[in-house]
Amino acid sequence: MNIRIQYKLFLSILATAGGVVLCMFLVMRWSFDRGFFNFVNKLDLERLNALATKLEESYSREGSWRFLQDDPQRWNQLLRDSLPDHYRGSLPPAMPEGRSPEEKDSISWHRKPPEGMPPPPPHASGPPGIGPPFGGRVVLLDGGKNRIVGMSEFPRNLELRALQHGDQMVGYLGMIPPKILADPHQSRFVEEQRQALAIIALAMVVLAAAVSIPLAQQMVKRIRELASATHRLAAGKYDIRIPVTSSDELGLLARDFNTLSLTMEKNEQARRHWVADISHELRTPLSVLRGEIEAMQDGVRMVTPEAIGALHDEVMKLSRLVHDLYELSLSDIGALTYRMTDINLGEVLKRASELARPEFVDKNLALEEDLPVGQGFPMFADPERLHQLFSNLLENSLKYTDSGGRVRVRIERQGAIATVHFQDSEPDVPETETGKLFDRLYRVEGSRNRDTGGAGLGLSICRNIVEAHKGTIEALPSPLGGLWVKVELPLNG
């Protein structure tokens, strides 16, 4: 069965509140019953002590327990006298001879105690179904622990209180603690308290239900907003935003959703620019190839080695572009292979600069090297990928540095970090544009870069290679007037 989250929240809150209220009700009821029984037992013990004192005084006057055996009314009178003073005045007068104990007890049951005082426990057997009162739970034994008066049957392990006459042990007084309340007034009082607790518990549950309904609705309302916005985002509406109205978990979720939506919107824009740029990069050499080939077919242009060479140049541009795209896609998906081994970073950089030097000479550019002799740069890396990194950076300086300028290559070590610097002369790159140089297909001046044959992918590949070696790369204004690319790579130990 599919239960809506609103009802799940409501039921969970209500069940939690109901469980807490039920536990409180049971604990309070147990505590009250236990405390009330302790209170009744305390009263019975006080009455038992008073009765023991009366019995010891009576024994001192009579000299034996025979007066109780001959006159049972004396026992009832002693039970009456053991009541506290504020109860004694509320009892009926002693019954005349001929009244049965049941009649006497029925009268005593219906007498009310003084106002503000709890009802006195009866001194004889109580009504059926309620339990024995005080007199029915007390027994008097002589010095040999033989029954004199009181309850006829009692447990042998009954706790007894000794009665003394001088130094002589003359008897024992025992009482069975009540297991149930014998007084109907006490029972009614306890029942009223239990009913009050039950009403309070029920009121608390109803209050919890009344509070949980709007709370669940409010929480579900915000979740519904998130769900609706998520559906719109999945449908391609990347401009959707959710107002953040709180700082709780749902507020944080809304803030993260807005961040995700903004990121997806930027990625979608980047994807569209990427597709447009790629199509533009491919269309230019293809248009040139098509025009040249059609001119040859129409006889407008002769098939000469120069014409074939021009076609070859355009094909090589396409080949480089496709190769760069392939390398970049492999790096993005983590499929670009790296064969790590122990190398000397300085030797890799020196080999790359020596291989590029003839091209710098052809363009009338000075390639200055500042590579420390004898200083080691041990590193665990892929030498071929690092050679590709340095070659791309040297080629970038070669293409975009004016003739007659210079390019400086320098490496230095600070602790376990090697820093490689590539600095060239004019033209410069605006400082606001340096952070975008590593974006795919980015050009500071698109028309000029296209004439040199670049597609704006070389620096993106460089960044991926550096990040694969757990390094960093950044572009800065060069002190020589052009661009400064700084590469930091971790060394061994």
Give the pLDDT of residue 419: 92
Burial class (CB within 10 angstroms; exposed 0-12, middle 13-18, buried 19+) of 87:
buried
Q: Taking residues 206-233, report their average pLDDT.
A: 83
d(CA 463, CA 90): 102
Superfamily designation of domain 341-490: Histidine kinase-like ATPase, C-terminal domain (3.30.565.10)
Q: Is the fold of 249-332 the same as that of 341-490?
A: no
Give the pLDDT of residue 445: 52
**What does DSSP say about strands 481-490 and 472-477: parallel, antiparallel, or unpaired?**
antiparallel
Nearest to 336 by CA among 176, 432, 468: 468
* Structural contact between residues 244 and 254, judged by C-beta atoms closer than 8 angstroms: yes
Q: Alpha-carbon torsion 114, 118, 120, 125, what sign?
A: positive
pLDDT bracket for residue 59 (50, 70, 90): confident
Give the pLDDT of residue 69: 79
Q: Tokens for 205?
A: 């549950």
Residue 117 has pLDDT above 70, yes or no: no
pLDDT digits (tens, 9 = 90+) for 334-365: 656 778 899 999 899 999 999 888 889 888 99
d(CA 399, CA 362): 12
pLDDT digits (tens, 9 = 90+) for 455-489: 556 677 788 888 888 899 998 888 888 889 999 99
Nearest to 455 by CA among 278, 267, 307, 203: 278
Give the pLDDT of residue 333: 62
Least confident of 104-108, 309-313, 325-329: 104-108
Place of tokens 């129409």: 298
Residue 77 has pLDDT above 90, yes or no: no
Give the pLDDT of residue 159: 82
Residue 127 has pLDDT above 50, yes or no: no
Residue 131 has pLDDT above 80, yes or no: no
d(CA 280, CA 443): 13
Give the pLDDT of residue 408: 92
Give the pLDDT of residue 422: 93
Residue 448 has pLDDT above 60, yes or no: no
Q: Tokens for 345?
A: 């970073």
Predicted model pTM: 0.46
Which of 209-239 are b and which e, b meaning 16 or more Cβ less than 10 Å from the residue's Cβ?
A: eeebeeebeebbebeebeeebeeebeeeebe
pLDDT digits (tens, 9 = 90+) for 379-404: 999 888 899 889 888 988 888 888 88
pLDDT digits (tens, 9 = 90+) for 78-100: 888 887 665 555 455 544 444 44
Residue 63 has pLDDT above 50, yes or no: yes
- The CATH label, of 1.20.990.10, 3.40.50.1370, 1.10.287.130, 3.40.50.300, for the domain at 249-332 is 1.10.287.130
For 200, other C-beta atoms within 10 Å of its C-beta total 14
DSSP-derived letter for residue 152 is S
Residue ranges of domains in the chain: 5-187, 249-332, 341-490
Check residue 305 and give left, alpha or beta (phi > 0: left; psi -120 to 50: alpha).
alpha
Residue 108 has pLDDT above 80, yes or no: no
Half-sphere exposure of 172 (CA within 13 A, CB side): 13
